[in-house]
Amino acid sequence: MQTLNLIPGHLTQDQLRQIRSEAVRVSLPEDVWQQVRESHESLKAVVQRGAPAYGINTGFGKLAKTQVDIADLSTLQHNLIRSHAAGVGEPLAPQIVRLAMILKLLSLARGYSGVRPQVIEYFISMLSENILPVIPEKGSVGASGDLAPLAHLSLPLIGEGEVFFKGDCLPAAQALQSAGLSPLTLEAKEGLALLNGTQISAALAIEGLFAAEQNLASAIVIGAVAVDAALGSYVPFDARIHEARGQSGQVRVAGLYRGLLDNSELNRSHADCDRVQDPYCLRCQPQILGACLDQLDHGAQILLREANAVSDNPLLCPDTGEVLSGGNFHAEPVAMVADNIALAIAETGSLSERRVAMLIDSSISELPPFLTRNAGLESGFMVAHVTAAALASENKSLAHPASVDSLPTSANQEDHVSMATFAARRLQTMNENTRQILAVEYLAASQGISLRRPLTSSTSVESALQHLRDYVPEYMEDRVFYPDIEKAALLIHQGRLAELLPMPPLDTVLD
């Protein structure tokens, strides 16, 4: 297990990619620990003064006016975590939980939360032992922070709840004992600092972002295969067209297509054809997928800021001793970019579905009807396209913005919430749908290339075709379809097509 040396407030996109992909250990610089200790000393001074300070010596939400005796401050924090652990549904995936734990400890380590170093060290120890809290996926409205899921994330620190450890779901106390860890007794504000924050919504959105990026990369490669399968023109990818418009994502995506489509016999074979223009699903790929890339770019910027953010409340200012009560726990930025990412996912799948429809329509693609050699006796890709259409339609419904919804909670104290957690969580389903649509197109476009033999395509397109043919043979007659869709989707999920691009789309820059 690799150790990542992380600087709170300076987490990078590459580090987020690594945390998402594998279990890691975490270490922090020594000066970070000093600022954490100073923040805790500032908190102790506030407690000793005895003046009401939200969440430190008062109740929470609508109960904020109730002051709590100093002798009960530890009980207050334990009660908070226990009562707020009210999530339901299936457990969040391990990579989401791991990322959320790291985002939480980095936020606490910024020195605004007043927690003891031991709280942060406990998360680091759990990560080193690969002990991951069991967090139900549902129960947060994205303000005041991801309260329920973060309560489940925090329960193991006090020896309660459940965790995943060495492949099993165990009571936290049992797993912690096996790893030589003793539960913490929380002190003033520590429970609130653990629960206030956007780390679950942010982790879900970051996972959705990177999955959407991989689907976009695969869509570009599969789209290139479809261009040659349908004897499409390369002119729409000419750099001059895209530079004249100047949209960053469009320019970059067009450049990726030019890199994929070169030195193709198939392209040269129709140099003198009478087709004037291709359908939009071929011709406008840079414009459509470029716009999707722009949305992912924006999402990456906002989510990287949120990954580095302090989303606790209240915040302590050790230099002045002030306690500032605000609303950094409100996840509206995450909700809005998750909605934008959802649009990009839906459009990536929608465009792919249109290319499948084009390929099976012999009047447009000039390929055999439904990509079968014996149309009528055989149905070919007829119902595989229906599956793609069904998934594209489902994504249209799921793309409805979650951030425009709000339901007041906590007796109207928390009267406008972000719904960021659902906004981000639904990205997983949408990405799975788009991956399956792309799998159908991957099969269809590859069949189109096979039907054009002996002519060959570009080196990159032939590589994409060979990846598929290693697992899925050419269609010589009708056969059961779903295993092939599963195999093609797995290749996309594994990044085999994305690897054919020089770099991930979010890492591309204009010259």
Q: Which amino acid is at 247?
A: Q
Nearest to 301 by CA among 101, 506, 99: 506
Counting every residue, how long is the chain? Answer: 511
CA nearest 20: which of 87, 97, 91, 77? 97
Does 54 qualify as catalytic in the annotation? yes
- Check if the beta carbon of residue 136 is closer than 8 Å to that of residue 87: yes
Q: Which residues contact 507 (CB under 8 A, 6 or more apart)?
A: none
- In order of 53, 61, 65, 209, the CA distances from 415 in angstroms are 21, 11, 17, 29
Given a contact cutoff of 8 angstroms between Cβ atoms, the answer to whether 338 and 402 are in contact is: yes
- Beta strand 24-27 with 2-5 is parallel
Q: Which of 54, 112, 122, 257 is an active site residue? A: 54
The closest alpha carbon to 449, from 365, 351, 354, belongs to 365
CB neighbours of residue 105 within 10 Å: 23
| Interior/surface letters 59-86, b for 16+ CB within 10 angstroms, e for the rest | bbeeeeeeebeeeebeebbbebbbebbe
> Six-digit token pair at 396?
């249209």
**CA 448-256-301 angle, 5° bins:** 125
| Residue 224 amino acid letter | A
Compute the Cα dihedral for 51, 52, 56, 57 and give only its sign.
positive
- Other Cβ atoms closer than 10 A to 510: 10
* DSSP three-state, residue 163: strand
Q: Are 112 and 315 in contact (CB under 8 A)?
A: yes
Q: Which of 150, 134, 136 is nearest to 199 (CA)?
A: 150
Contact 293, 252 (CB under 8 A): yes
Which residues belong to the active site?
54
